Amino acid sequence: ISIPVAIVAGIGRSARNGILIKGGEYLETSAKISAVAVDKTGTLTEGRPVLTDIVVLDPKANRSEVLRWAAAAEAGSEHPLAGPILDTAREEGVAPEGVPDSVTPVVGKGIVVEVDGKRVLIGNIPLLEQYGIEGSAGADSAADELAAAGNTPMIVAVDETVLGVIGVADTIRVDAPEMIRRLHASGVEKVVMLTGDTRLVAEAIGEAVGIDEIHASLLPEDKLDAVARLQREGHTVAMVGDGVNDAPALATADIGVAMGAAGSAVAVETADIALMGDNLLKLPEAIRLARRTVSVMRQNIWIALITVVVLLVGVFAGGVTMAVGMLVHEGSVLIVIFNAMRLLRNTHLDGGTRKDTARDT
């Protein structure tokens, strides 16, 4: 009973806090976490990007034309970055009336579509290079400026001409820096960002929130490799993500953590722990609770062992009757249960100092 009662109390306490742990083994593994890998979009950021800039590069084009072609390319797309482009196009009266004639996604680079007999590309520099479009030098410079400011740049080209660059930004979650501070306070050695965004954008976000290590321009399989690399370094790794692209890394990590409220169904299903809300501070709370639970489990084991030793000594010394033995044994069981019930008390981690308060409900 020493271990099960602690696990049940720990899982119950986490569930009351909006942290769904899918089994005792995941609770025990969470207590060993030494490295946390986090996705950027939708995890460190709000996941609700807005269009911030339209840089016109072609002298024959204007702002509305760049926006119109970008919206035409993104029409019908469910990608998170398509939303702000289409919303702005509707606000400015240049929204497309239909969807592209054909759409060719290029993994990690962007998309290529056919609209009104023209080929439209929207993506990054490698996409332009792949299709042999010249004039990428100016686009590269404009994209770097936007990325350095924390915006995701998307280059718009029609046929062989680069029209401009669109910048889209996502707001950093207000609790992201505090989450990282609390992770370190709870004993996590390294917090790593894994993102498909460009390095300049990732570095701007990473510097703002205090990330230890950044890996940018990653495909889903690259995120998986990054998690495996951390494991080879000897870390017990938790991967935090919210999208379909994060599912392989979530499955590979020792503990997969999904942002339940904003996360995709695939991410929540793949993960071992689901945070049922948008509060990032639930992550360090889950790790701290897991460590407290394992600590209580060890205490309970010692209580049980000491009780057995005392009873054995008493039996051999001739001073313990069956009635006394049963009384002492049942007393130790009650002690173990009450010790585990301490996990049901409210606890908060603030700068590494634990504060306990009685829970009203």
Residues 6 or more apart from 157 whose CB is under 8 A from it? 120, 121, 122, 128, 133, 163
CB of 156 within 8 A of CB of 66? Answer: yes
Torsions phi, psi of 218, nearest 5? -95, 140
Enter the tokens of residue 294. 């394992």
Enter the tokens of residue 27. 């609770």
Enter the tokens of residue 241. 């993500």
Count of Cβ atoms closer than 10 Å to residue 311 Cβ: 17
Spatial separation of the C-alpha atoms in residues 51 and 104, rounded to whole Å:
23
Look up 101 and say whether it is catalytic.
no
CB of 228 within 8 A of CB of 37? Answer: no
Residue ranges of E strands in the chain: 19-21, 35-39, 50-56, 102-106, 110-115, 118-123, 152-158, 161-169, 190-194, 213-215, 237-241, 255-259, 273-275, 346-350, 353-357
Question: Of 39, 242, 254, 272, which is the active-site residue?
Answer: 39
CB of 271 within 8 A of CB of 257? Answer: yes
Residues 6 or more apart from 268 whose CB is under 8 A from it? 258, 260, 274
Enter the tokens of residue 77. 């797309």
Look up tokens 């990428």; give the residue. Answer: 136
Look up tokens 């119109």; give the residue. Answer: 68
Torsions phi, psi of 319, nearest 5? -105, 0
Residues with catalytic function: 39
